[in-house]
Amino acid sequence: MPAQIIDGNVLAQAVRAELAEKAAALKATQGITPCLAVILVGEDPASQVYVRNKVAACEKAGFASLKFTYPAEVEPAAVLGKIAELNADPAVHGILVQLPLPPHFDADLVLEAIDPAKDVDGFHAENVGALMQGKPRFIPCTPYGVMKMLESAGVPLKGAEAVIVGRSNIVGKPMAMLLLAQDCTVTLCHSRTQDLAFHTKRADILVAAVGRAKMITGDMIKPGAVVIDVGINRLPDGKLCGDVDFDSAKEVAGFLTPVPGGVGPMTITMLLANTLTAAERTLP
Ligand code: GUN
């Protein structure tokens, strides 16, 4: 039986409608409109699309948004100055610096400059530490979206074998912490893992977040497994595809997320959720 497809667009729409309602209520009762400030440095086309989508999602949900763009050659001090200004602005609840930054930037320095209470990406060391301790303040948006997808599909987590491929700070590592907190047995694989298929074939839940087109094939998947594809890769013909080979995977997996239309829309949705949370936390 082919896999059941978890439709990220449908779930994102439902969650965004709830967030829009909550934002409207916050405005009506407290006079507060959740506001996200986004900083984009350079002209990377993918980053430009992501930032445009984030700003559009804010507007559609009744959130305020501010966008600041800088040329790739900008002095880091200018961006740090803007962050300081946004940190001090009570009308701004969330601050996001789109990654990657140009090579002359120290990305960690920039992320640490953001007020942890406005760090809706959850990338500040203080928020990373809180997640690691099992007391999250802001959960990074992509793994947060994946958890929502697993919840919506009714996937049992307690005691499940979860295998994550990719150890990035943005996805792999926080994903491991979130699944661990739900009592999964977690294996974190990466580019130096020996015999990747040995691990992936044991997974009840397989999360692919490596950034290599179609590298997880059907023969690497346990029959009936839940397969979450975080990858967004552009093929030579211009089409988007994930880290999972969809056609072979769908014959083996129990649940599968598509690319596009899977995790992507949920990432932006959870950014809105974090921005709303940040705004609500400013209430006395
Ligand atoms: N670049 C790729 N994914 C992300 C993300 O979730 N947040 C930010 N700020 N940059 C990214």
Ligand 1 atom closest to residue 142's alpha carbon, by position in its atom list: 6
**What are the catalytic residues?**
54, 98, 121
Q: What pLDDT shows up at residue 248?
A: 98
- DSSP summary character for residue 149: H
Give residue 219 CA to ligand 1 midpoint distance, Å.
31
pTM: 0.97
Sole residue written with tokens 């090579």: 103
199 closest CA partner among 143, 207, 233: 207
Residues 6 or more apart from 161 whose CB is under 8 A from it?
A: 184, 185, 187, 202, 203, 204, 205
**Which of 40, 48, 168, 170 has the most ligand 1 atoms within 8 A of CB, as the residue to mutate?**
170
Which whole-number Å values give the CA distances from 241 to 16, 68, 254, 259, in the listed order?
25, 30, 20, 6
| CATH 3.40.50.10860 fits domain 30-115 | yes
Q: Per residue in 26-82, pLDDT tens? A: 999 999 999 999 999 999 999 999 999 999 999 999 999 999 999 999 999 999 999
Pick the residue whose CA is nearest to atom 9 on ligand 1.
98
Q: Is the CB of 98 under 6 A from ligand 1?
A: yes
113 closest CA partner among 73, 131, 86: 86
Give residue 252 CA to ligand 1 midpoint distance, Å.
31
Q: Is 181 helix (H, G, I), strand (E, B) or coil?
A: helix
Torsion angle, CA of 264/267/273/279, rounded to 10 degrees? -120
Q: Is 234 helix (H, G, I), strand (E, B) or coil?
A: strand
Ligand 1 atom closest to residue 96's alpha carbon, by position in its atom list: 9
Which whole-number Å values give the CA distances from 242 to 10, 34, 48, 229, in the listed order?
19, 32, 20, 6
Q: Where are the beta strands (DSSP E) in the chain?
A: 4-5, 35-41, 64-70, 94-97, 161-165, 185-189, 205-208, 226-229, 233-234, 240-241, 255-256
Torsion angle, CA of 152/154/181/113, rounded to 10 degrees? -10
Q: What pLDDT shows up at residue 220?
A: 98
Q: Which part of the chain is CATH 3.40.50.720?
A: 141-264
Q: Is 38 helix (H, G, I), strand (E, B) or coil?
A: strand
The length of the chain in residues reads 284
Ligand 1 atom closest to residue 267's alpha carbon, by position in its atom list: 6
Q: Is the CB of 171 under 6 A from ligand 1?
A: no
Sole residue written with tokens 């984009």: 40
Sole residue written with tokens 């990654």: 99
CATH of 141-264, one of 3.65.10.10, 3.50.50.60, 3.40.50.300, 3.40.50.720: 3.40.50.720
100 cis-preceded (ω within 30 degrees of 0): yes
pLDDT tens, residue order, the chain (284 aa)? 799 999 999 999 999 999 999 999 999 999 999 999 999 999 999 999 999 999 999 999 999 999 999 999 999 999 999 999 999 999 999 999 999 999 999 999 999 999 999 999 999 999 999 999 999 999 999 999 999 999 999 999 999 999 999 999 999 999 999 999 999 999 999 999 999 999 999 999 999 999 999 999 999 999 999 999 999 999 999 999 999 999 999 999 999 999 999 999 999 999 999 999 999 999 98
Give residue 138 CA to ligand 1 midpoint distance, Å.
14
Q: Is the CB of 271 under 6 A from ligand 1?
A: no
Give residue 222 CA to ligand 1 midpoint distance, Å.
30
**Which of 99, 146, 210 has the most ligand 1 atoms within 8 A of CB, as the residue to mutate?**
99
Cα distance between residue 93 and residue 104, in whole Å = 28
Q: Are 229 and 243 in contact (CB under 8 A)?
A: yes
- What DSSP letter does each residue of 126-148 carry, written as one string? HHHHHHHTT--SS--HHHHHHHH
Cα distance between residue 251 and residue 223, in whole Å = 9
Give residue 203 CA to ligand 1 midpoint distance, Å.
26
Q: What pLDDT shows up at residue 1?
A: 78
Q: Which part of the chain is CATH 3.40.50.10860?
A: 30-115
Q: Is the CB of 132 under 6 A from ligand 1?
A: no
Q: What pLDDT shows up at residue 10?
A: 98
Give residue 280 CA to ligand 1 midpoint distance, Å.
23
Q: Is the CB of 96 under 6 A from ligand 1?
A: yes
- What DSSP letter does each residue of 218-230 carry, written as one string? GGGS-TT-EEEE-
Pick the residue whose CA is nearest to atom 4 on ligand 1.
99
